[in-house]
Structure 1
């Protein structure tokens, strides 16, 4: 029985770690979206200096679309991990997979694997969103710096 308590405690900490990572990813993503807005404004101001600024603004806009889709996915995963916090058994992961199949988010083939994908793998998968959000925000920041420094005489 003590072993079950330890594994449940470990699972709860994994879920908390995933939730924290996803919360940070959402915040970084919002900063990136704000930077994208600033990039678009700066590129518009610089448009009179040449059409290359239109392309930079368009690239920033495309990156912002990716950031928006990523933010939606992050928020979905945050909700799913929040629901897993009181998880008592691995059968709850199977129930989660069944719900995701019903929604069309994963294939029935992926969900039918026995045993279900371990929680640690799911947490690692969710943690990658923080890296993606940071890379996209870094791109938006670099674009803003490029546009601002190009304005200098």
Structure 2
């Protein structure tokens, strides 16, 4: 395999892995968007965030992407007045996660497009490798 194709595959594979993790985190956020604390007055699920970092792949000499951290969004939780709810505090307020469906859907769309772009790079690199092998066989 030629070095540029190996580098392209390495970069695309790291992108696929990073975006896959990002999609999993977005899914967790969406799944927990309406959850509440298990105890009265407790804190519910907090939105998770993903941070990326670049990393030098020494075997190919290219920069790849990796997950630097899966953190928690420290923005304010949403409070709603519902004194009959089991998770209500002494004032009658229930805390809900700081998850915005609009933000999560936008993140999901962006991660999906990035994943598809990396997948396309892998497909094209595989085609080029196959074409190279065919040329070498026929010469």
Give the TM-score taking structure 2 as reference length. Answer: 0.46
Q: Which structure has the larger Rg over C-alpha atoms?
A: 2
Structure showing the higher strand proportion among its residues: 2
The structure, 1 or 2, with the larger RCO (C-alpha pairs under 8 Å, 6+ apart) is 1
